[in-house]
Amino acid sequence: MSGGAARRYVAAALSRCRARGLPLWEPLWEPPPARGPRPLSGRGVAALSLLPRRHLSSRNRLEGKVLETVGVFEAPKQHGKYETGQLFLHSVFGYRGIVLFPWQARLYDRDVASPVTEKSENAAGHGSKEVKGKTHTYYQVLIDARDCPHISQRSQTEAVTFLANHDDSRALYAIPGLDYVSHEDILPYSSTDQVPIQHELFERFLMYDQTKVPPFVARDTLCAWQEKNHPWLELSDVHRETTENIRVTVIPFYMGMREAQNSHVYWWRYCIRLENLDSEVVQLRERHWRIFSLSGTLETVRGRGVVGREPVLSKEQPAFQYSSHVSLQASSGHMWGTFRFERPDGSHFDVRIPPFSLESNKDEKTPPSGLHW
């Protein structure tokens, strides 16, 4: 079953469960007894990893990938938030993960009409709608390392990058397998496995407690790490806009400041997700960025694709995500631009990248400490 087919199966199973008014433990599917690990004891909707367990040889007459039973689905939360230790499958990228802690972000969604829709001109002369942000929950999560090689819709395994406190002013640090996930992207499940996620930080950050729900609780090291590195971990703003059924979501992160040649250089990471909301296959061909700095400079960047790739967005693989970095010689600025896509008939169209601010945490004086407690 392909990743797209698996996602449709999961969505259909949950939809049938809700439509029929069934409790989520009512069995809707039983995995074949000859393949994969035994199902969990008791009855439940099997939570399937959307990523491959193994490839079958041609003589099996079964092409593609086999799904692995990893737990039992729980009802997605319509209200409230998921707690630390919640296991989940990512509804778009299919990986297994676990929630470390939530963030309350401001979502600026240009697809939602605001009471005020007057045009405004920013400092660089770029016209855009006045958009009012609303609070939305995102989560800092760990990605299961077993799934990372199979996340084909990402340019790399997501990582938190930052400038750490180090003598080498050029050093850029990264902690791989850390992601930021929107509330609606989480498909929660439970498991009896005491180490259900393989990640080098799992047992450092979390411990098993069978008396708790979920049964994985934060260690003191996780709380200390979050508190100490809060300015560089925090997700504060999310920007979203749709053009021609292609939705672009941008999340900027401040990384820190460095002194170089008697001046200050401020760094940001920005994470971009492209989603095809239509059934027509399209391919990203070009990017066109404009980067405005509070120092008064305006830079234009054009190039083929993104991060060396020209991803195809189809019904089976509707999304692609990547991260990149930008530096300014000022404590703030903003970026905007367009992605050029190509249709199967060879025609092109431009998709707007919503303008977003680059803001520094100027009041924070302690640089991030990485994994040193």
What's the pLDDT score for residue 303? 95
Q: Which residue, 202, 235, 268, sits at the end of a domain?
A: 235
- Domain boundary, last residue among 191, 206, 235: 235
Both 263 and 336 in one domain: the answer is yes
Distance CA(148)–CA(12), nearest Å, equals 25
What integer is the mean pLDDT of 27-47? 36
Whether residue 275 sits in one domain with residue 196 = no
Number of domains the chain is built from: 2
What is the rounded distance in angstroms from the CA atom of residue 154 to the CA atom of residue 164?
Answer: 25
d(CA 143, CA 145): 6
d(CA 318, CA 326): 27
Is 37 domain-assigned? Answer: no
| Domain presence at residue 208 | yes
Q: Provide the sign of the torsion angle of the four alpha carbons 100, 105, 111, 112, taken in this order.
A: positive
In a domain, 328, yes or no: yes
Q: What CATH number is associated with residue 340?
A: 2.60.40.1470
Between 112-126, 237-251, 312-326, the lowest mean confidence (pLDDT) is in: 112-126
Top pLDDT among 196 and 120 is at 196
pLDDT of residue 133: 87
Q: In sequence order, what are the beta bridge partners of 254?
A: 268
Asked if 357 and 329 touch (Cβ cutoff 8 Å), the reply is no
Between 371 and 29, residue with greater pLDDT: 371
Give the integer Cα–Cα distance in Å for 101 and 234.
11
Report yes or no: 324 and 270 within 8 Å, Cβ to Cβ.
yes
Co-location of 202 and 321 in the same domain: no
Task: Indicate if the pLDDT at residue 170 is higher than 50.
Answer: yes
Q: Are 34 and 62 in contact (CB under 8 A)?
A: no
Query: For residue range 49-86, what is the model confidence (pLDDT) as tens digits?
Result: 544 443 333 333 334 455 667 889 999 999 899 999 99
Judged against a pLDDT cut of 50, whether residue 324 lies above it is answered with yes
Residue 199 lies in a domain: yes
Q: What is the pLDDT of residue 132?
A: 84
Q: What is the pLDDT of residue 193?
A: 92
For residue 43, being part of any structural domain is answered with: no
Type of residue at 249: T
- Choose the final residue of a domain: 235, 263, 289: 235
Q: Which residues does 143 contact at the CB level (< 8 Å), separation at least 6?
A: 95, 96, 97, 157, 158, 177, 178, 179, 199
Domain match, 220 and 154 both: yes
Contact call for residues 214 and 226 (beta carbons, < 8 A): no
What is the spatial distance between Cα 318 and Cα 277, in angstroms, rounded to a whole number? Answer: 7
> Does 266 have pLDDT greater than 80?
yes
Q: Is the pLDDT of residue 319 over 80?
A: yes
Position 113 scores a pLDDT of 58
**Among residues of the chain, what percentage have pLDDT more than 90?**
51
Say if residue 307 is in the same domain as residue 215: no
Q: Which of 37-51, 56-70, 275-289, 328-342 has the lowest mean pLDDT?
A: 37-51
Q: Do 248 and 229 belong to one domain?
A: no
Average pLDDT, the chain: 78
Same domain, 222 and 250: no
Q: What is the pLDDT of residue 158?
A: 62
> Mean pLDDT over residues 223-245, rounded?
89
Cis peptide before 37 (omega within 30 of 0): no
Query: In which residue are the tokens 């400079």 written?
Result: 297
Taking the C-alpha atoms of residue 110 and residue 239, their distance in angstroms, rounded to an integer, is: 8
Non-local CB neighbours of 17 within 8 Å, separated by 6+ positions: 24, 26, 28, 45
Is a pLDDT exceeding 60 seen at residue 305?
yes
Closest alpha carbon to 256 in 156, 351, 362: 362
Q: What percent of the chain stands above pLDDT 70?
A: 69
Which one has a higher pLDDT value, 112 or 239? 239
SS3 readout for 255-319: EEEEEECCEEEEEEEEEEEEEECCCCCEEEEEEEEEEEECCCCEEEEEEECECCECCEECCCCCE
Are 252 and 360 in a shared domain? yes
pLDDT at 246 over 80: yes
Phi-psi region of 85 (alpha: psi -120 to 50; beta: other; left: phi over 0): left
- CA quadruple 226, 228, 229, 234: dihedral positive or negative? positive
| Residue 297 reports pLDDT greater than 70 | yes
Please give the pLDDT value at position 117: 42
**Residue 237, SS3?**
strand
Radius of gyration of the chain (CA): 22
* Residue 345 backbone dihedrals phi, psi, to 5 degrees: -85, 5
pLDDT tier at 229, thresholds 50, 70, 90 = confident
Residue 19's pLDDT is what? Answer: 47
Collapsing DSSP states into helix, strand and coil, what is residue 223?
helix
Residue 310 lies in a domain: yes
CA-CA distances (angstroms) from residue 123 to 196, 243, 251, 299?
Answer: 49, 24, 21, 13
With respect to residue 44, please indicate whether it lies within any of the assigned structural domains. Answer: no
Q: Place 322 in a pLDDT band, splitting at 50, 70 and 90.
A: very high
pLDDT surpassing 80 at residue 23: no
- Give the torsion sign (CA, 203, 205, 211, 214): negative
Q: Are residues 88 and 188 in the same domain?
A: yes
Using DSSP's 3-state secondary structure scheme, residue 53 falls into: coil
pLDDT of residue 188: 96
Q: Which domain holds residue 182?
A: 71-111+134-235
Residue 317 pLDDT > 60: yes
Average confidence (pLDDT) over 290-313: 94
**Both 140 and 214 in a single domain?**
yes
Do 219 and 355 fall within a single domain? Answer: no
By mean pLDDT, which of 63-72, 185-194, 232-241 is the weakest?
A: 63-72
Residues 107 and 202 in one domain: yes
Report pLDDT for 290. Answer: 97
Query: Domain for residue 316, yes or no?
Result: yes
